[in-house]
Structure 1
Amino acid sequence: MISSRRGHLLCLVLLSIVLYFPGLGARDFWAPVEPRYAEIARVMLVRGEWLVPTINGELYTDKPILYFWWVLLVSKLLGGVSEWSVRLPSALSAVGLVLTTYALGRDLLGPRQGFLGAIVLATAARVVWEGRWAHTDMPFTFFFTLALYFWVRVIFQIGSPKELWVAYALMGLATLTKGLIGVVLPGLILLSFVASMRQWRSILEWRIPSGVGIFLLVVLPWFAQVSWATEGRWIQEFILVHHVQRYTAGAGHEQPFYYYLLNFPADFLPWTFFLVPTVAASLRARSVVRKPIPLFLSLWFGVIFVFFSLSDTKRALYLLPLFPPAALGVGCYFAGLERGSRVEGALYRWAAHLLFNLLWIAGLSLPVGVWVFQPGALWLSLLPAAAMVGGGLVGLVAVLRRRPALVFFSTAFTVLLTMLCASLWIFPFLDQYKSPKAFAREVKRRVPPFEPLFVYADTMNDFNFYGEWEVIPVVSSPGEIETKMSRVGRAYLLIRERDLQRIKFVEGAMIVAEGAVGGKKWSLILLQREG
């Protein structure tokens, strides 16, 4: 059994590398977010722009700048913006998040608890996905968690009070990555803990004046410059639209209040099965109420869950910052099972039996389903199917023999093998259903450089990136097409088949290229004015 801290770190780094890096650039960008972020970075790199992000000729006010700076630095080193360079910040942040979770668990709960908790986090479905996806959420969660880690070290008198300055700086980086939740979420968690412990005077020890100065030193230079460069428009849209309206008026991605009750269990798989006995054991012991450390971790989870549940705008990845305390809870539970301080109760055994039986059944069913619906991809399903069947059977044996360590590591290893197969073979295979890259390259070949190109009712930015068009004006009605054509004698239009069937074009329009992305068929239309 690995026991040394150096051994823990080495194993976690190796696990993270295998989970997040193989095939990182093997698949194309998938809409909606990935091609948008890639295009923003591509345009900034071409222009030599490091201050104001734009997309399709419009100001981009959804997210701050830090993620794009990171992509730009990597892209300059690699010679261009690519699938690898755009996803690398997420992969590196995922490694950092795993190691931070280990350090947090080690300092608060013990080395073994931190080690197991970090493995749970690393192999949870949402973490694996976001570690391989071009989103700001993984870098944000890394900075956020690392900031709370230094707060925890000071609050529980593990580290020096000066570490608070590092925490303030990291909150600044989190804010530069995703917005004001970089300071709002840590503040709510810390204040809820102080209120629960009735230790209001401890706030005086937080070095708030100097901490605020450090925070502003990190965030203010860019926010001030981008606001000045856009005459205040960027900061106004950023605050009003992407903070106030999103939270209170559901500006996109509106979901019911119970959305996360259904979504989080799926995102935490496969460890959701063991989270149930973990929570039950904690409630029986009442450790959450009696002890400060379990209380802090519970508030960390609860505050984030409630905060985003109250928002009108909900997305599954918003809950990523609450995964570390959930993972540490499961890790602590398994550590107790290993050393015998916790009993393998009926709830644990039922959960384990259910998980492992579902695994081997899913493994056997996968090739059958693929053979029925996509026979040409049958070979792709064999290795992940074998991993699921093997993991399920080994797990069942481990449960019967009462070996919780084997239960734990068979679960993690099954995720590792399955994800490795998916990254190297399955995801690239799915490009034909998800990516318009090949058709975008054909469009670029067909459309002369100085002739106008429009796209009908589509804002996904795939064609911008893969065709290297900085601006493709979007038209949303036949009347708008006519208006555009009244100003030019000849133009090209990208349009999906469903829209093409509803629009009557003037005589002289003709299809010059066609392509399919999954079930969506695209056409490139040449439009010419009569006479």
Structure 2
Amino acid sequence: MKRSGNTAGWKSTRPLWLVAALFAWLTATAWVRPLMAPDEGRYAGVALQMLYSGDWLVPRLDGLPFFHKPPLFYWIGAGAMALAGPVEWAARLPSILGAVVAAATLFLFLRRWSTVRLALLSTVVLVTTPFFFLGAQFANLDMLVAGCITGTVLLAAGAVLARERDEPWRAMLAGAYLLAAAGLLAKGLIGAVLPVGVLLAWCAVTRKTAALRLAAWLPGWAVLLAVAGPWFVAMQMRYPEFFDYFVITQHFRRFASSGFNNEHPFWFYLPVMAGLTLPWFGWLLVPRRKEAQPAGRRLSDVDWLMWIWLAVIVTFFSMPRSKLIGYVLPALPPLAYLIAQRVLAGRPLEALLPRLRTMTLAAAAVCVTCMVAIVVYVTPPGARLRLPADLAASPGDQVAMLDSYTYELPFYWRLRNPVLVSGGWKAAGDEGRDNWRKELLDAARFDPARAAATLIERTQLATTLCSPRTSWLVGPNNAQLANPWLGRAQLVAFNERIAVWRFAGSAARDPHCLDLSPGAPAPAAQATTGKGTDGND
């Protein structure tokens, strides 16, 4: 492969302008919708607790060590909220940055090793597919690790190609190791294992066996260990069970076991990727022009890289039974390249420009329409359940959740202290399926003393609430059926799923303050009407 000659005239500032445009496009609507439950509320809440607590080392869910994932997402989110406050776009900034890294490195790699027009079109296709656009504005870890994986693959591949041509390659390879370390800190082992799998397969197929020695490049390993190593070592030293839980359970057992949420068949991601990349995906269904397929044409190194990359990612995440849509986000950059290549194959660019402009505008409109649909039709219960202006919680009040945990509520109420969570914890045991109860029980293993003060048995509620302080109680909107004593509390806000009560407590610390006398009126059923008091439902 030879270097494209049409890149020489490009000014060095062009990539910076491209990065700015990518950031502006992906951030433009990141603030318009409330956080979705449970994922966005969970990860934004952990980041906000990191900021409020001042402990930037241990991620915490409701004050308890939360080791489902490493801390990079929380570090970025907490830093953004330190500057902008707890607002939606700041909570989503880690995902936006991951998307910008993916798109920018794709452009720079293709501009160097292919053509400028293919680099530009691949980038446009990528950032205007609804799958990528919405993933960039969803506050979870998938897009952040996708950006790290993309950057690692492309920088490492660029280093291999540059070394073959006796060009400078060490800086690119060091960048690949740096992004692999970021991937480890973003979502664990897949941040490094998947890029290695892609690159090894690529080198084997293209017979770049000499390049395999770059995997043992000592300066790169020094970078990776210096960046990613300290946090993992610190957690293992502080919590002896960390390795078994984080590595064995969260990686290997989850990958190999059934019984987790979101079980789907092996072929699940094929229709998902086809449907969520429309209208661009339609180009892959257009028959190739005969003149675009010269006899004996061989795939280039870049072509092989993209095909192998796409196949490795989709196959890897198709093997476990548990599948989430966002897992295959790292497969979108190579798919965007293959779509762009099909669009441009054998067609004069000048003749294509009007259609490409129309397609780009249509794809962008689909992205925005999808965002509007989410705003209109998806109603997170906690985000729209704000307290009336004349009933704000005071710093000395306590907040308790009844048989539920509303992830996004601490974010919107800006709670600096953990909430109390009431439930049947002793009977719950170790649940097999992922839910709020299992997450809190897992976290409790690492700090039993704090958990004892936070996870309250139903039988302990009277001791907790019958004190001379105001309590704000959050639970399902029919919680009064299981907790008839809520008839003594003031219902202040509710919607179709959850409700909030204000309980004045007991100035005399009466341990029976939750008891209802035989003649007490039954709790009102008004919270089941589905009409909210805040005017937003």
- Taking structure 1 as the reference length, the TM-score comes to 0.77
Point out the more displaced range, 246-255 or 124-133: 246-255
Counterpart pick for 1:453 among 373, 383, 399: 399
Structure 2 match to 1:514 = 493
Does residue 524 in structure 1 map to residue 501 in structure 2? yes
Cα pair distance change 1:37/1:477, threshold 3 Å: same
Equivalences for residues 300-339 of structure 1 within 5 A: 300-339=309-348
- CA distance in 2 between partners of 1:45 and 1:409 (Å): 43
State the shift of 1:14 in Å.
6.2
User: Counterpart of 1:260 in 2: which secondary structure?
Assistant: helix
User: Counterpart of 2:492 in 1: which secondary structure?
Assistant: strand
Structure 2 match to 1:474 = 421
Equivalences for residues 83-482 of structure 1 within 5 A: 83-157=88-162, 159-162=167-170, 163-229=172-238, 231-250=239-258, 251-277=260-286, 290-339=299-348, 403-420=351-368, 433-442=379-388, 445=391, 449-450=395-396, 452-469=398-415, 470-476=417-423, 480-482=457-459
Structure 2 match to 1:495 = 475
User: Counterpart of 1:52 in 2: which secondary structure?
Assistant: coil
Task: Count matched residues.
Answer: 462
Deviations 1:208-241 (A, max 9, x none): 3332222111111121122223x23334321122
Deviations 1:358-396 (A, max 9, x none): xxxxxxxxxxxxxxxxxxxxxxxxxxxxxxxxxxxxxxx
Letter in 2 for 1:246: R
State the shift of 1:150 in Å.
1.7
Structure 1 match to 2:45 = 39
CA contact (8 A) 1:41 1:81 kept: no
User: Counterpart of 2:69 in 1: which secondary structure?
Assistant: coil
State the shift of 1:411 in Å.
1.4
Letter in 2 for 1:410: T
Cα pair distance change 1:149/1:444, threshold 3 Å: farther
Structure 2 match to 1:16 = 22
Letter in 1 for 2:419: I
State the shift of 1:429 in Å.
5.2
CA contact (8 A) 1:117 1:330 kept: yes
Identity, in percent, stands at 22
User: Counterpart of 1:441 in 2: which secondary structure?
Assistant: coil
CA contact (8 A) 1:443 1:524 kept: no
- CA distance in 2 between partners of 1:201 and 1:90 (Å): 36
State the shift of 1:450 in Å.
4.3
- CA distance in 1 between partners of 2:326 and 2:294 (Å): 31
CA contact (8 A) 1:12 1:98 kept: no
Letter in 1 for 2:155: F
State the shift of 1:302 in Å.
0.4
State the shift of 1:449 in Å.
4.7
Point out the more displaced range, 102-111 or 507-516: 507-516
CA contact (8 A) 1:16 1:95 kept: yes
Does residue 72 in structure 1 map to residue 39 in structure 2? no
In structure 1, runs of 5+ residues without a counterpart are 341-401
CA contact (8 A) 1:436 1:463 kept: yes
Cα pair distance change 1:259/1:115, threshold 3 Å: same
Cα pair distance change 1:57/1:466, threshold 3 Å: same
State the shift of 1:327 in Å.
0.5
Does residue 50 in structure 1 map to residue 56 in structure 2? yes
Structure 1 match to 2:67 = 61
CA contact (8 A) 1:289 1:295 kept: no
Letter in 2 for 1:274: W
In structure 2, runs of 5+ residues without a counterpart are 1-5, 428-456, 506-512, 518-537
- CA distance in 2 between partners of 1:119 and 1:179 (Å): 29
CA contact (8 A) 2:474 2:498 kept: no
CA contact (8 A) 1:90 1:136 kept: yes
Cα pair distance change 1:419/1:188, threshold 3 Å: closer
Deviations 1:4-49 (A, max 9, x none): 6459747744652453122422332221122222221221112211
Letter in 1 for 2:459: E
CA contact (8 A) 2:278 2:363 kept: no
- CA distance in 1 between partners of 2:105 and 2:88 (Å): 26
State the shift of 1:458 in Å.
2.6
Which protein has the bigger helix share?
1
Counterpart pick for 2:86 among 61, 69, 81: 81
Point out the more displaced range, 11-20 or 255-264: 11-20
CA contact (8 A) 1:104 1:149 kept: yes
Structure 1 match to 2:529 = none
Cα pair distance change 1:476/1:414, threshold 3 Å: same
CA contact (8 A) 1:255 1:313 kept: yes
State the shift of 1:316 in Å.
0.9
CA contact (8 A) 2:236 2:242 kept: yes
RMSD: 3.4
Counterpart pick for 2:462 among 485, 507, 510: 485
Point out the more displaced range, 124-133 or 464-473: 464-473
Point out the more displaced range, 313-322 or 406-415: 406-415
State the shift of 1:293 in Å.
2.6
- Taking structure 2 as the reference length, the TM-score comes to 0.76
Point out the more displaced range, 456-465 or 35-44: 456-465
- CA distance in 2 between partners of 1:119 and 1:288 (Å): 26
